[in-house]
Structure 1
Amino acid sequence: MSAKGYFAFPPSSTSRPHPAFIPQPPTTREKFVDNGAPGKGDETRSEEPPNDEERINRLHKERALIEMSEIEWVRGGGVLRDAQGRRDKARTERIRAELKLQEEEKAKLGRWKEYDELWKALVASDEALSFTDIPWPLLTAPSSKDTDVFTLPAISEFLFESLSVRTNTITKKSRIRSSILRWHPDKSSLVVSRVVAEDLDAVREGIHAVFHCLKRLQDDERDNIHTV
């Protein structure tokens, strides 16, 4: 985003420094006066200007610093103003929206990472398990042995929410495939064997419900590819 021509003020009277203006590229060669040598008086000489690539790189770095300063200013509650000192509500709101989106994306990635790490830890352990110990693929973990919560919309929402993150490179097909391998009844038999007796039926039913939803998602994805 370009921050050209903008500066910011705090929302209240504080001593916090204002973000600086973005420097503009020089339009003429820089000169300086050399009065240090006897007899030269006010003789001037031209300083060798930086080449275009160096100048562009320098301006990009300076602009990035200003943009970072503006973002942090808005994050802390500040409001941006334009070069005339007027409140720039539109630009401030754009930065606020971007910050909100970044937080949402961070939360989505965090939920998937936690789920994946819990599964790895569960497989590596040999402790007895209850129904609530299983990392079920849901945004909200079931608090009881209610297997009715394992619906196609609920599982889809969890599996695919992190795929909407702008830096994502994982496809739906890949996510479905890896999930099917994880939840296949044959693959999960070692986990089931560690479940306490009173939760065994609920865990088996839950695994069956999850796997059934994953197979439906796989079929839907295959059908979508064939109809394109």
Structure 2
Amino acid sequence: MRTRRQELEREAGRRYEARWVELLSSEETLGFRDVPWPMFSQPRSLEELSEAKVAKFVLSPLHAGETRRDKIRNALKRWHPDRFGRLSGRVKEEEKEAIEDGVGIVARCLNDLLERESQ
């Protein structure tokens, strides 16, 4: 029997994936809160982004059949600053710094996780 928490986590994972599809197929202007951050609850500010929350989301059992290393690598494909940069032209000027800082936090977290998996 699934617990309520597992259901909420699965729903968060579905929303995250759906939001990425939507984001990549639209031309909408982006603010910090429009970005599908890799966390179970979307942060309202940069201060709410944390390495622990990102790791919990990325390494969750949501992505069945993938190794921990695969989960991290797949997340890095989205969050590497060079890759994420393709969306930067759509970011609201007044939120550009916060989004760039947030992408940096996520990328560093994922790189740290990958390094730990390699040891």
Q: Measure the CA separation in 1 of the matches of 2:33 and 2:105.
A: 16
- The residue type paired with residue 112 of structure 1 is G
Match for 1:126 among 9, 27, 34? 27
CA RMSD of aligned residues (A): 1.7
Structure 2 spans left out of the alignment, 5+ residues: none
Residue 174 (structure 1) aligns with: 70
Give the drift of 1:105: 3.2
For 1:135-146, list aligned pairs within 5 A: 135-144=36-45
Q: Which has the higher helix share?
A: 2
2:56 is the counterpart of 1:160? no
SS of equivalent residue, structure 1 residue 139: coil
Residue 191 (structure 1) aligns with: 87
Give the drift of 1:103: 4.3
For 1:1-228, list aligned pairs within 5 A: 99=1, 101-144=2-45, 147-163=46-62, 168-223=64-119
Contact 2:16 2:38 in 1 (8 A): yes
Normalised by the length of structure 1, the TM-score is 0.49
SS of equivalent residue, structure 1 residue 118: helix
- Count of aligned pairs: 119
Q: Which has the higher strand share?
A: 1
Give the drift of 1:160: 1.9
Deviations 1:24-82 (A, max 9, x none): xxxxxxxxxxxxxxxxxxxxxxxxxxxxxxxxxxxxxxxxxxxxxxxxxxxxxxxxxxx
Give the drift of 1:107: 2.8
Contact 1:185 1:208 in 2 (8 A): yes
Q: Of the two structures, which has the highest relative contact order with CA contacts closer than 8 Å and spacing of 6 or more? A: 2
Normalised by the length of structure 2, the TM-score is 0.89
Q: Percent identity?
A: 28
Deviations 1:199-224 (A, max 9, x none): 0110001001110000000000111x
Larger Rg: 1
Contact 1:176 1:217 in 2 (8 A): yes
